Amino acid sequence: MALKKKTIKKKSVKKKKAIKQSAASTDKSILDQIIRVDHAGEYGATRIYDGQIAIFGKNSKIGKTIQHMADQEQEHIEKFNELIIEKRVRPTALLPLWNMTGFALGAGTALMGEKAAMACTVAVEKVIGEHYREQQELLEDDEKELRKTIAKFEKDELEHHNIGLEHGAEKALGYKVMTKVIEIGCKTAIAISKKI
């Protein structure tokens, strides 16, 4: 009799666990941070490519390649503009800063030449791509749609990263130092934009 009781108890614990797992929901503060930082990052990305196109011109060969990436960044920022409203998330207070630094980074690397501009893309997209991969693991099943969106964007960022490599990024003068500095800058911007 005692044994039977024990078995029933075990079963009910299992059942409770299953209910808890199926109802897993994403922590609201984590969700807010994800949307805030992605919105900031995509905004920064559009500004980087704006800066590069301002230097190379839309109709140059490299300008057209950059425009393709810029168009995808535009789709990404529009999606996060919607999500900011839909999920009632406060955007980062630092948008004006990312506006200026993004443009300056894009224009500055473009002034150093096509390969340097592509090295900038490689560094930025590597950080954003990795960041998107990590975020998918933080989202529970109640945010399946967002997880799908982020997975799609991760694929786009990886494509941008590869476009940079295909266009001679690694041949840019000081490639290793430059990409390291930009990567650290991006990671710092991510850490700040999650909170502020």
Binding site residues, Fe ion, CB under 5 A: 42, 45, 73, 76, 125, 157, 160
| Residues contacting residue 159 through CB under 8 Å, at least 6 positions apart | 72
Q: 122: alpha, beta or left, given left = phi > 0 and alpha = psi -120 to 50?
A: alpha
Which amino acid, 118?
Answer: M
- Minimum Å gap between C-beta 34 and Fe ion is 14
Q: Residue 60 or 74: which CB sits closer to Fe ion? A: 74
Q: Residue 140 or 183: which CB sits closer to Fe ion? A: 183
Rounded CA Rg of the chain:
21
- Minimum Å gap between C-beta 81 and Fe ion is 13
Rounded Cα gap, residues 124 and 44, in angstroms: 10
Residue by residue, DSSP assigns 91-130 as PPTTHHHHHHHHHHHHHHHHHT-HHHHHHHHHHHHHHHHH
Length of the chain: 196
- Minimum Å gap between C-beta 73 and Fe ion is 5
Q: Residue 95 or 140: which CB sits closer to Fe ion? A: 95
- Minimum Å gap between C-beta 103 and Fe ion is 16
Q: Residue 27 or 145: which CB sits closer to Fe ion? A: 145
